[in-house]
Amino acid sequence: MISRLPYELLSAILEEAAYSNAQEIQQYTYGVDSTSTNGKAQRVLRGHVANDSMRWLSTDAIRQTVERKREVNVTFPSNGAVMVDTFSLRWPPWMHGTWSLRIVIEWTQSRKLDSIHGCPSRDVFYRDPYCSLRKTVDLFTKYPSLGSSVRRIFFDGFYGVETNTMILQVLKYCDELDLVSLPWTTLRYGSGEDWSRLLGSRDDGTALTSLELLAVDLKQSQITDHGRHVDKHPLDSPTVNFGHLQRLKLSGSSNLMPVNDDDLIAISRTARLRELHITGTTSVTTKGLVALGRASEDTLRVLEHSPLSDDGFEHPNASCTDDGSHLCEEIVHCPHLRDLAISLPTICGDLFSNTSVNWVGDVQIRAAGICGQSGRLDKAAEARQTFFNSLSQARALIQAQRKRGVELNIEIFIDHLIFEPSKSLVHADLSVGEILSEGTWPEMPDPSFKGPYGQTGQYGKDERAYQCISEDEFVEGLRKGYISF
């Protein structure tokens, strides 16, 4: 009878039941500790039960009694693997066929180990760290038709040759993917055939649209393992085509065969991206950025480039590309670019000279100096004048966009200072200037909620809270030597 209730009422009932069950089920996991003074193994609290496990356990009774065509609830008792759609109870009927499948691997045997009863033994046992990945491979191997229902898939923590082989084996079955997040090592351990299959066009004309490559630093023992130093150079294969990819994200830095400029140049041969995100990396310079930017000049809409450095402001790159072209001019040549957050070694007024750009919202520019200038800006009058001319051009661009009905806000980060051209404000740590001026400068600073790395507060070191002053007062402080630039 309950199955005949309206979907909205049934969903509310089941959701309330799930929340009630969550308060009564086991919420902690336990382990065994043999370091006690009496030599006996003791049960110790390990932590909270994972969220996916909590959701699974809280809806266990519901799944056994309620069946709906649009719910995914498949159990394979033979191998203990369970495939479940965690959010199936919340999806209305009209969304049937548009959802993406979420796969959670649980072990029915482990549910009995949430608590240990009796006296535990001191026997040492081994748990396969890649057990979930192996079972995922087994699941798709046994039921290959499931792969066609997967739209988004994420792999994290698997960096070895063996695990990458398993990842690529899973991807073979997932032939309808929209988004995939992979460890950067798949770009080394995968073959040209693997990447051609992942990126290629399907029979219905669709293809993978979003690719994320996540990198991390490995342990020294992993770096010295010669078995990991394998590179199949898949990007050299003529069958690997990034032309259908719309979004590429490179995140993190690694000490083992990281993604570098040569990789980006190889990708740029076929890429036509709409979004490019390069964050937290030390192995990619403006050379690779410009290569991808030029290849996607007519399609690029989102550009984020935030290389990793100690303080977020130091960039070792040159201000010009290998062919002598100017970086500031390269950026404004992307006619459809809307969202911009970029770090450049130097900037100048050319970056804001084109009032026909389509920039919108918050645009953040980070730089270490001024194009064509060297030395300290508080000592070099020409460089200082060039920079303030750039601020004026940024203001002109903001006003031009405002006349078109577009709200644009530009922030320029340079030398641990934040310039806000639209308001003619400067945000900085002015404590040294207050000491040097014996409290006479600045006259009436306002508190600032911006820190050395944008609006995220302090960067985590010893900086004081930022204060806000006008550009005119900032120039006065420069002239009197109260602040360095």
Q: Is 197 helix (H, G, I), strand (E, B) or coil?
A: helix
Which pLDDT belongs to residue 30? 64
Over its length of 485 residues, how does the chain's per-residue pLDDT go in tens digits? 666 777 677 777 777 887 787 777 777 766 655 444 555 556 655 566 777 677 777 777 776 665 543 343 333 333 333 333 323 233 333 333 333 333 333 333 344 444 444 555 555 556 778 888 999 999 999 999 999 989 999 998 899 999 999 999 999 999 999 999 999 999 999 999 999 999 999 988 899 999 999 999 999 999 999 999 999 999 999 999 999 999 999 999 999 999 999 999 999 999 999 999 999 888 888 889 999 999 999 999 999 998 865 444 444 444 456 666 788 988 988 999 999 999 888 899 999 999 999 999 999 998 888 888 766 666 677 888 889 999 999 999 999 999 999 999 999 988 788 999 999 999 988 989 999 999 999 998 998 878 655 444 444 445 567 899 999 999 999 989 998 87
User: Would you mind telling me the total number of residues written for the chain in this entry?
Assistant: 485
pLDDT at position 348, please?
92
The token duo for 13 is 């009932």
How far is Cα 145 from Cα 39, in angstroms, rounded to an integer? 52
Q: Which residues contact 24 (CB under 8 A, 6 or more apart)?
A: none
Return d(Cα 469, Cα 190) in angstroms, integer.
Answer: 54
Q: Do the beta carbons of residue 150 and residue 177 sit within 8 Å?
A: yes
pLDDT at 130: 87
> Of the candidates 28, 65, 38, which has an alpha carbon nearest to the alpha carbon of residue 119?
38
Asked if omega into 442 is within 30° of 0 (cis), the reply is yes
Question: How much is the pLDDT for 399?
Answer: 96
Structure tokens given for 358: 């389509």
Q: In 3-state terms, what secondary structure has residue 464?
A: coil
DSSP conformation letters of 68-112: -TT--EEEETTTTEEEE-TTGGGS-GGGTTT---------TTGGG
CB 239 within 8 A of CB 196: yes
- Tell me how far the alpha carbon of residue 33 is from its chain's centroid: 37
Which parts of 273-417 fold into alpha helices (H)? 286-295, 327-332, 381-403
Which pLDDT belongs to residue 31?
A: 62
Q: What is the pLDDT, as a whole number, of residue 82?
A: 34
Residue at token pair 């023992």: 221
Please give the model's pTM, rounded to 2 decimal places. 0.74
Quick one: pLDDT at residue 85?
32
Q: Is 204 exposed, middle or buried (0-12, 13-18, 19+ CB in 10 A)?
A: exposed
> Amino acid letter at 136?
T
Give the per-residue pLDDT at 278.
94
Measured CA to CA, the distance from residue 405 to residue 73 in angstroms comes to: 50
